[in-house]
Amino acid sequence: MGERVRAALAAEPAAQLGAAIEAAGHPRLGEALEGGVRVSSDLAAGLGEADVAIAFATPAASLALARAAAERGVPCAVGTTGFGAGEREELERLAGKIPLVVTANFSVAVVALRFLTRRAAELLGPGYDVEIVELHHAAKVDAPSGTALELAAAVAEARGERLADRQVLARQGHTGARPAGAIGIQALRGGDNPGEHTVLFLGPGERLELVHRATTRDHFAHGALRAALWLRGKAPGRYGMEQVLGLG
């Protein structure tokens, strides 16, 4: 994703690369990039050169970047999934110091999918069963995907319910009939797939499918850069891509 963000920056006249941070011991440390930037593991120095930061990393590394950014007043766009409850709580606290966009998916089309999913759930009502299927590359370490959970949350929100009360993440053995109102989420892993999400509304004699398929990671990078540019001058707070796109 770092490479794709660099490519997006190269096509954006309103921004330029200020720093490139990698983990200590990374084989590309010291490599020269555009604009005289060198790949570094010095987070503090990198943020000193930045007006806004973009984080695509593990939850721990992204949280460390957001923490350091908050200390220096640098807005931050975070595209990381798999945060634990305590980590999410800390992000909320950090949002009291700086503007933060935190999202499971920077794709503008995925934002549209989430909007359509919520609207479909409102229109179809509780008489339709909902199943969400996501497919990602074999190296993805968290399941289900953050995007799948956000889609499920959109359904629950439209029904006036809590996702935690309705989600079903696994089925095995003699499970009995499907509970009324359940929201199923199934995760598939394999190959190098950047990400696919399918939301199925299953009713009597018919079904509606809403699908997003990613074939590259470029749209994630362009969405992250769009969010980063939007953050400049914003008040501290936790924001989502809906606000970036003017939808909420």
Rounded to an integer, what distance in angstroms lies between the CA atom of residue 102 and that of residue 228? 11
Alpha carbon distances (Å) from 85 to 41, 88, 91, 148: 27, 5, 10, 17
Active site residue 140: yes
Q: Which of 97, 140, 197, 212 is catalytic?
A: 140
Residue in 136, 197, 212, 222 annotated catalytic: 136
136 a catalytic residue? yes
Kindly give, in sequence order, each residue whose CB lies less than 8 Å from that of residue 11, ignoring residues fewer than 6 positions away: none
Q: How far apart are the first and last CA of the chain?
A: 27
What residues are labeled active site? 136, 140
